[in-house]
Amino acid sequence: MANCQPVPLNKVKISDLFWSKYVELVRNTVIPYQWEALNDRVPDAEPSHAVTNLRIAAGLEEGEFRGFVFQDSDVAKWIEAVGYSLQSHPDSELEAAVDSIIDIIEKAQQPDGYLNTHFTIKQPDKRWTNLHECHELYVAGHMIEAAVAYHEATGKKKLLDIMCRFADYIDTVFGPEPEKIHGYDGHQEIELALVKLYRATGNERYLKLSKYFIDERGKEPNFFNIEWEKRGRYSFWTNTVSKKPDLKYCQAHKPVREQKSAVGHAVRAVYMYAGMADIAAETGDNELMDACRVLWDNIVSKQMYITGGIGSTHHGEAFTFDYDLPNDTIYAETCASIGLIFFANRMLNIEQKSIYADVMERALYNNVLGAMSLDGKRFFYVNPLEVWPEASEKNPGRFHVKPVRQKWFACACCPPNVARLLTSLNNYIYSKNNNTVYIHLYISGEAEIELENGKLILNQCSRYPWDGNVKIGVVLESISPVSIALRIPSWCRKWSVYVNGEEVNPELVNGYAFVKRVWRENDEIELKMDMPAEFIWSNPNVRANAGKVAIQRGPIVYCIEEADNGRNLSAIEIDTTSGLTIETDKAVLGEGVIIKGKGLRTIDDGWQNDLYKPCEISKKEVEIKAVPYFVWGNREPGEMTVWIRSLN
């Protein structure tokens, strides 16, 4: 496996017409807003209790634990987001806020290294007795990721040392030795976090422990069944005797190397797959890598929405089965798409194939970006592809589908997850291997890249995703031949590459066009990609989309809203033979592209009080206006759909 390394976050500066406003929004609005939410200072929002819980555990306040058992993880993800932000934009006031919460975390840590406010405050005698349900290692994982990110940003070691003490303690509790617990967490996260801690410290114990959790999962006799019997079959969530654990729900139904399909809770699944890919990369475990490839293929070819969403049912926030992709009862949790991006990025760094970057881009521009309002203060947990507000309000089966973004959530995993992804966006644009630079995402800015034969500085400039022309200028020349590998996205079928104005014929390998030469200062590569608006059809096995089409241009998936097209969007049919027109509409986007098409609308004249009757259906010609999916729901509440009935 020819592993690549991402270009360090602080060596990539984003100055992009599209993305800079979102990065600034997160830095200036989302991070401060979430700090207020974590401290329960946002009016009319669900209280978090997260900071208060830490203060109680630290002995700084009196009170009871409140919130979910995993509430500490919200603080951890916020710290991680701040860590990434500080690497690009130092901020002494924000750093001071993090230092203050780290002081509290230090006081909340127990003498043996244990750290978890729920069990410290509420159930000190129940540590490690219900790993299936209680997220202890999941919370530890997020705290570890926060510690690594903050240390990388500031060089400060206090939180890193706290988490090393916790990880060292965990290593005394879990493992193959007879006196240790032969188990793992119900919600995967510790696995990928321990690999990060290993890379930050060089301590191989952490890599070994991560590998143990992956290797132990799903073995017989099954740990979760044994644990369930040992605690008297008691369930933390129902406070009653419960049914036997659903092993598929947490991907513990068989050893990970034997799993062939993505099953169960979608976030847990992709976090685990990301950890598996990390361990495969660090250890050269080809069998584990093969398992990653099989699971990847199952997700992206049979269980992924066109927006990059995953998890088709709200029952367990889970995968169901191949091609079961309903649009109106969908779940597609924001965290699941972020986890899919984590998985894609790790696979991409192991084997440089554009299929991974294509999915990373699809989820980023559509599902993840659409989860946050344009003002950065409201969020979607569930990301539907079809919304009928009245059904969301009155049908219990669709109550989870919200027609408007929410200020905050009692289970608030998604908002800080969006923040930590967007503040670390620099990490996903480039990677390097020997004397090759891979460009995975077309985001304008400058990158300083250390290669075997010296340093190269590249300046990327484009209007992507609205325009397919990308220019990459050489700021600092190379002293020997260097390959610059340009991703040719799967949506692009006609492209060309120019160097200093002259067309070249680069070698295309695994979806990357390789341009190799000794680069001189002021050299310029230009990648020209045709970016037509297109109708997209589903595999016929996706029954929810039978007779329907979606609209896509470049990486952007489009939808139609009631605000532009009137109520009852299901009555609209689009003419796929009349073509699509592209326009800029600043009223919707500020700057961006909307798409218009022609079609027919069934009208309800003459129905009166009839529900069914034989009759001629009356239709009228209409102009159909589609907007990018990521901006839906930023105007007045109303209907929305991605998949539109086809007239042809």
Which residues form the catalytic set? Answer: 317, 413
Dist. CA 23–CA 482, nearest whole Å: 30
In order of 45, 142, 637, 640, the CA distances from 371 in angstroms are: 17, 21, 15, 15
The amino acid at residue 543 is R
Of residues 214, 217, 361, 219, the one with CA closest to residue 278 = 214
Dist. CA 619–CA 542, nearest whole Å: 27
Q: What residues contact 556, with CB distance under 8 A and at least 6 apart?
A: 365, 366, 465, 593, 628, 629, 630
Of residues 265, 263, 398, the one with CA closest to residue 322 = 263
The answer to whether 352 and 485 have CB atoms below 8 angstroms apart is: yes
Which tokens belong to 409?
């959530």
- β-partners of residue 458 are 447, 474
Residue matched to tokens 């073995």: 219
Of residues 213, 187, 210, the one with CA closest to residue 198 = 210
- Strand duo 430-433 + 5-6: pairing: antiparallel
Dist. CA 266–CA 339, nearest whole Å: 9
The amino acid at residue 481 is P
Q: What residues contact 202, with CB distance under 8 A and at least 6 apart?
A: none
Q: What residues contact 401, with CB distance under 8 A and at least 6 apart?
A: 328, 329, 330, 382, 384, 387, 391, 392
DSSP 370: H
Burial 83-121 (b: 16+ CB within 10 A, else e): bbbbbbeeeeebbebbeebbebbeebbbeebbbbbbbbb
Dist. CA 244–CA 246, nearest whole Å: 6
The answer to whether 629 and 552 have CB atoms below 8 angstroms apart is: no
Of residues 425, 250, 414, the one with CA closest to residue 332 = 414
Give the number of other Cβ atoms within 10 Å of residue 46's Cβ: 16
The answer to whether 520 and 477 have CB atoms below 8 angstroms apart is: yes
The answer to whether 41 and 33 have CB atoms below 8 angstroms apart is: no
The answer to whether 445 and 12 have CB atoms below 8 angstroms apart is: yes
Dist. CA 483–CA 502, nearest whole Å: 17
Dist. CA 398–CA 392, nearest whole Å: 5
Of residues 571, 617, 577, the one with CA closest to residue 597 = 577
